[in-house]
């Protein structure tokens, strides 16, 4: 749980539809590269990395109840374009068995894509500075997970302003929008504003996600550093391919 798997039915429809649209847009941008390499060995490689990610996400580190993603490792080896495709495949398959929502596959894919793509660029930059692969791997995984968590939090923050209407519970009083002869005003707008903000305690949510997440980022960072170091020792030049 180093990142959030947004579940179904929590975010407003417009937001998760936007997630699908953005993901489709990204895949469309890279369609040239996919078309060019569609007969190459890249497709089985993407499938294999997607499988590695699905397996790693479905296994918990037992005493800690965390799972790792290996998104940064996959991002570094596959490169940004193929990793976006990989994260979509992973999220769709995970949604099939209830791990993350089906409607929010677009948003979840964008969050995980951000992890891999940021990890890819950070690792490239940090490798020159830190020299040691394990440290560069740790730092790039930690930072990209931190940033992608903030991306997920940003999505929830955008959604939370709409959460009341998304759930449809409670009441929406917009006297200024009411049409007709009669205008019912049962409460002052300031009181209503106060009530809406109490519906979803974003600070509480932020505290929980960052609190649990920080342990996950460190764990994922350490494991990513270890995996990258192992790969570099066993197969030198793997990151150049």
Partner 1 sequence: MDLAYLDYLATSGKSFLHRFPAGLKIILALTLIGFIILIKQALFMVIILAFLYSLILLSRLPFIKIFLISLYPLIFALIFAYASLGRGWEWFFIILLRVLGTATTMILLFSSTPYPCIFASLGKVFPEFLITVFFMTYRSIFILFSIFENIRMGFKLRGGFQLKHPKRSLSNFAKAFGYLILKGMDDSQRFYEGLKLRGFQGKIEHNRRYCTWNRR
38 is written with which tokens?
């569609």
Among 21, 29, 208, 215, binds partner 1 (CB under 8 A): 208
Is 80 one of the binding residues for partner 1 (CB under 8 A)?
no
Judged by CB under 8 A, which stretch of 112-120, 122-130, 177-185, 217-225 contacts partner 1? 217-225
Whole-number Å distance between alpha carbons of 118 and 80: 9
Is 146 one of the binding residues for partner 1 (CB under 8 A)?
no
Among 15, 23, 93, 153, binds partner 1 (CB under 8 A): 93
Whole-number Å distance between alpha carbons of 138 and 226: 8
CA distances from 93 to 54, 96, 97, 145, 222 (A): 8, 5, 7, 21, 26
Cβ-based nearer residue to partner 1, 29 or 183: 29
Among 96, 125, 178, 183, binds partner 1 (CB under 8 A): 96
CB of 191 to partner 1, least distance (A): 15
Is 215 one of the binding residues for partner 1 (CB under 8 A)?
no
Is 4 one of the binding residues for partner 1 (CB under 8 A)?
yes
Is 67 one of the binding residues for partner 1 (CB under 8 A)?
no
CB of 182 to partner 1, least distance (A): 25
Going residue by residue from 158 to 197, which x/- string records binding to partner 1, judged by CB under 8 A? Answer: -----xx--xxxx---------------------------
Site for partner 1 in 21-40 (CB under 8 A): 34-35, 38-39
| 136 burial via Cβ count (<10 Å: 0-12, 13-18, 19+) | buried
Is 41 one of the binding residues for partner 1 (CB under 8 A)?
yes
Among 18, 22, 89, 146, binds partner 1 (CB under 8 A): 89
Among 23, 81, 85, 114, binds partner 1 (CB under 8 A): 85
Judged by CB under 8 A, which stretch of 99-107, 114-122, 172-180, 181-189 contacts partner 1? 99-107
């Amino acid at each position: 749980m180093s990142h959030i798997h947004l579940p179904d039915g929590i975010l407003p429809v417009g937001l998760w539809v936007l997630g699908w649209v953005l993901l489709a847009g990204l895949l469309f941008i890279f369609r040239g590269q996919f078309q060019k390499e569609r007969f190459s060995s890249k497709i089985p490689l993407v499938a294999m990395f997607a499988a590695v990610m699905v397996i790693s996400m479905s296994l918990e580190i037992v005493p800690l109840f965390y799972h790792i993603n290996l998104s940064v490792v996959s991002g570094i080896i596959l490169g940004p374009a193929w990793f976006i495709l990989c994260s979509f495949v992973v999220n769709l398959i995970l949604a099939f068995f209830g791990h993350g929502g089906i409607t929010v596959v677009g948003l979840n894919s964008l969050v995980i894509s951000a992890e891999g793509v940021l990890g890819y660029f950070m690792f490239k930059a940090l490798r020159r500075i830190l020299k040691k692969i394990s440290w560069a791997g740790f730092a790039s995984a930690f930072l990209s997970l931190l940033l992608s968590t903030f991306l997920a939090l940003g999505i929830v923050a955008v959604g939370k302003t709409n959460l009341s209407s998304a759930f449809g519970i409670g009441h929406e009083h917009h006297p200024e929008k009411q049409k007709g002869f009669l205008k019912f005003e049962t409460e002052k707008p300031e009181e209503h504003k106060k009530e809406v903000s109490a519906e979803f305690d974003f600070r509480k949510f932020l505290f929980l996600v960052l609190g649990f997440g920080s342990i996950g980022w460190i764990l994922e960072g350490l494991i990513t550093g270890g995996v990258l170091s192992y790969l570099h020792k066993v197969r030198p030049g793997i990151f150049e391919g």
